[in-house]
Structure 1
């Protein structure tokens, strides 16, 4: 199995990170894992580990989310998802409006603006990858957008838990904030579980609800592009943009709610999912090249910062209005 060397390397970093996270729960295993990965990212490593690192950063992360579903009660999932819907709509609107205004001010290409706006509003790199073929984006636009979003994902893992404690957010408040304001699923899960297990569970549910917004948004963009050109929607596939791990998470939640597994087995699978998060974050950290991200230019970074700040502030304001914070 060609992925095994990379998986083992990520696992090797995840074990001490997990132990450090147990000793310092305020920081948490996922944060230690991505930090260890970033510190070793410049190390000249064998080419044989690369397939496994890519596999771990994507597939193991998705597996971890499915496993977390075994600790979720479906009634709780539906309740939290319903509560977060208003805030999700508000943050989506804030991201797209900010992207349009700031993108025009910075004179960025329209596709770059759309991709950064979608990545900030919905689910980071996954949303960008799903949207790019729909709007016919160039490779350069996709690279700039993913690099920008990923830069703020890394910052969020470290900054959000610190700000959450500073603001005095409870578990539900921080989970809602992380789930609606952090770009990528990996960073949401890492920041949430670094804050607390309850906040991590809440943030994961909110983020998965938010991820579902990729379907109506991408459909709308596809219809818009179809009006401009017959070729614009050729790359669009509903099966491709729908994140199948969400179905796995929901299936695990149904099993957990039914009580078939029993509390001990469900807890074990949930804890395994949390460890898998650390493994995935180690792989993501090892594939991070901060210096290369900064070479892409200042304008996309400024747009990403503006969208990110708008979403974070609007999320907190909405929580304050509805009394969650």
Structure 2
């Protein structure tokens, strides 16, 4: 009851903002509810400010609901479908993912973008936009302002991709499946992948969506790898300070394990189609809630101190991933 008294008002505040953001997203699906949520949250926090009584609920939403949304997304993932599509797109996904992190690391250091921010931009570009950033951020202990900035950066190039990719596909004379591969691996957010795919053709849209869902599974190995790296770093820090409080169980991303369990249950056919539709709606709404809360915690003045360098990094990483994807498709004879 004490927790509910402390967090309830803030949760209700986030819930109402998320409802409004979801409604706006339904009117403009190319932008989507999550982006409206984080933008409105930033505007509110940096203009009129959020009431003091909302702080506990907002913090709960930005941490716990963020992780629960990833678990709920796993309910809609079929590991059988992932295996079938992955055999066709695995090489392209792995190469583009590696290219994304290498570009984020190299150019991030050149531009002097902070370590956590470039990791978020690399994950968001290489895996699946906001969902990947949501999964990675608690592992690397990213601040709300870093999450908000990285998602805003990724969003800019999602919109650019929707406008440019269909023309690129026609220019190269791509087949529906080839364009579906390109869109599914080089565009970040699911809504943008779907939009670009179906602008090209219905077949390209169907295939791009499946590739994108398969690409989502890359959240698991990347999250585990980052957790291991964080664990090593914290263990060294604990040893240097002669501390004994280090524990791998505290670093391990348990919500990723539950994401896999949810996917396995769906693969076993334990969820009916009606249940899957409800779970999908819940997962998407929880993401809107989490990102609305992150926006409500973001300080715009701190964001401005980072300047345009993170946006420039996002542009470079997006360009590298697109070019690498096109080269791999060309080398494999698909274009």
User: Taking structure 2 as the reference length, what is the TM-score of the superposition?
Assistant: 0.69
Which of 293, 300, 316 does residue 303 from structure 2 map onto?
293
Which of 9, 20, 23 does residue 5 from structure 1 map onto?
9
**Residues 102-251 of structure 1 correspond to what in structure 2 (within 5 A)?**
102=107, 105=110, 108=112, 114-122=115-123, 123-124=132-133, 127=136, 130=139, 147=145, 150-168=148-166, 173-178=182-187, 182=188, 188=189, 202-203=211-212, 205-216=214-225, 219=228, 231=240, 237-251=247-261
CA displacement at 1:56 relative to structure 2: 1.5
CA distances 1:89-128 after superposition (whole Å, capped 9, x unpaired): 434543554456446655x5xxx76545533334548657
Distance 1:294 1:220, change over 3 A: same
CA displacement at 1:286 relative to structure 2: 2.3
Report if the CA contact (8 A) 2:223-2:253 is conserved: no
> Residue 17 in 1 paired to residue 26 in 2?
no
Report if the CA contact (8 A) 1:30-1:190 is conserved: no
> Residue 277 in 1 paired to residue 283 in 2?
no
Report if the CA contact (8 A) 2:181-2:211 is conserved: yes
Q: How many residues align?
A: 302
Report if the CA contact (8 A) 1:117-1:307 is conserved: no
CA displacement at 1:14 relative to structure 2: 1.9
| Correspondence for 1:136 | none
CA displacement at 1:158 relative to structure 2: 4.2
Distance 1:257 1:104, change over 3 A: closer
Report if the CA contact (8 A) 2:21-2:34 is conserved: yes
| Correspondence for 2:273 | 263
Distance 1:298 1:277, change over 3 A: closer
Report if the CA contact (8 A) 2:78-2:264 is conserved: yes
Q: Counterpart of 1:256 in 2: which secondary structure?
A: helix
- In structure 1, distance between residues paired with 2:317 and 2:19: 35
- In structure 2, distance between residues paired with 1:67 and 1:54: 20
Report if the CA contact (8 A) 1:34-1:284 is conserved: yes
Q: Counterpart of 1:71 in 2: which secondary structure?
A: coil
Q: Counterpart of 2:240 in 1: which secondary structure?
A: coil
| Correspondence for 2:49 | 44
CA displacement at 1:154 relative to structure 2: 1.0
Report if the CA contact (8 A) 2:44-2:50 is conserved: no
- In structure 1, distance between residues paired with 2:222 and 2:33: 29
Report if the CA contact (8 A) 2:193-2:212 is conserved: yes
CA distances 1:282-323 after superposition (whole Å, capped 9, x unpaired): 222322333321214666665565445434543454455557
Report if the CA contact (8 A) 2:118-2:310 is conserved: no
CA displacement at 1:12 relative to structure 2: 0.9
Distance 1:127 1:269, change over 3 A: closer
| Correspondence for 1:61 | 66
Distance 1:131 1:50, change over 3 A: closer
Distance 1:172 1:39, change over 3 A: farther
Any stretches of 5+ residues in structure 2 without a counterpart?
124-131, 170-178, 199-204
Which of 21, 33, 52 does residue 37 from structure 2 map onto?
33
